[in-house]
Amino acid sequence: MHGNIVSLVDSTGVPLNKSGILGVVGSGGGGGGSEAIAGGGYATNGANGVPNADYYTYNVATDTYTTITQYSSNLYSQGGYGNSNDGTVFGGHVGSGSNTRTEHWNSISWSAGGPIIWTGGGQCQGGGTSGTDGLCLGSGQASYGLNTSYAYDGSWVSGQSLTYYQRQSAQGGDKTGSGISITGYGGNTGTGTGASQRAEACTRGSYNGAWSSITNTTHKGHQGTWCSAGDSSDFNYVGGYDTATTTYLTLNTKWNGVSYSAETPITTAQTYPNGCGGDDTDNIISFAGLNPSGAISDTSYYWNGISWITIAVYPQDTYAGNGGFIQ
């Protein structure tokens, strides 16, 4: 089933994206190219439901996957961004411990970057526009969430504290641009007091600037990895898990810097996908994940700014991995 070519229009005749093709090869940004990178997570194909080190690139134009060199260890809930030419992976869980490494993929091989500087590498999220221009917000293993922020340019540095304590939030932006952290799970203080699923969000205008709270969202969810893209002025986040209603969400919400709006929901409710996004909210990919029955899936979708397109299935059933897709 892998590697099939998809139609250039959907069933209603609408082009698959606003440029009229599935992906614009070599459109620049993040090292160039239009291939996503994704991997890690809990897998069932050949991994017996344990974390795995398998990584793949995905070519949007041809709807095909390529297996690349494995990451240095099995991991899940890691942070990641970039693309097949310039990808960054950091943090996450390795077995019962934490991954403290940052590694770069340059289209040929992995190389070591600066280690993370926070305690407990798990539950990472992140955003970025190139392998050495990224951020990580509120990450770590604290069950009540953290309000820390970190930026990456080859080494990690601490930034200003977030407005809220959050864990497993949807995130976007980069070191030099506008950051956003929205929804997730956290507490009102640096302890477990008031820990709950959050509807809160905060943004900043530039690196190391002060974070400001924005309007609470009605799309309240959290998960180990999000399917999201953009920054504080243009951000989409998709799906999630609502603990209050025990519901897997299909919502696709846009924040335009002023208010929220609902966009076309994702075709199937899947949480903990190997979500891939970058700076372009018209190009987001959801690889695999958990479906509402709790089963691990390989079903994958591409958001082109207009509609969700079912793409070739991910090479293995997996969830709670991560990746990046920067055009």
Total number of domains in the chain: 1
Q: For position 287, what pLDDT does the model report?
A: 95
Instruction: Give me the CATH number covering residue 208.
Output: 2.120.10.80
Residue 15 has pLDDT above 50, yes or no: no
- 313 falls within a domain: yes
Residue 211 has pLDDT above 50, yes or no: yes
Q: At which residue do the structure tokens 């892998």 appear?
A: 2
Query: Which tens digits make up the pLDDT trace of 119-156?
Result: 766 777 788 877 788 899 887 666 778 888 999 999 99
Q: What is the 3-state secondary structure (H, E, C) of 174-236?
A: CCCCCCEEEEEEECCCCCCCCCEEEEEEEECCCCCCCCEEECCCCCCCECCCCEEEEECCEEE
Q: For position 249, what pLDDT does the model report?
A: 92
Domain extent at residue 52: 35-324
Give CA–CA dist 250/309, Å, rounded.
Answer: 14
More confident residue, 138 or 66: 66
- 17 falls within a domain: no
- CB within 8 A of 160, min separation 6: which ones? 149, 204, 208, 209, 210, 211
Query: Which tens digits make up the pLDDT trace of 241-270?
Result: 888 888 899 999 999 999 999 999 999 988
Task: Supply the pTM of this predicted model.
Answer: 0.87
What letter represents residue 96's amino acid? S
Residue 2 has pLDDT above 50, yes or no: no
Query: Which tens digits make up the pLDDT trace of 286-316?
Result: 999 988 888 889 999 999 999 999 999 999 9
pLDDT bracket for residue 47 (50, 70, 90) = low
Q: Which of 126, 134, 138 lies closest to 174, judged by CA?
A: 134
What letter represents residue 84's amino acid? S
Residue 12 has pLDDT above 60, yes or no: no
Which two tokens mark 124?
């990472």
Sign of CA dihedral 9, 15, 20, 25: negative
pLDDT mean over 25-31: 25
- 59 falls within a domain: yes
> Minimum mean pLDDT among 79-88, 98-107, 130-139: which range?
130-139
Give CA–CA dist 208/220, Å, rounded.
Answer: 27
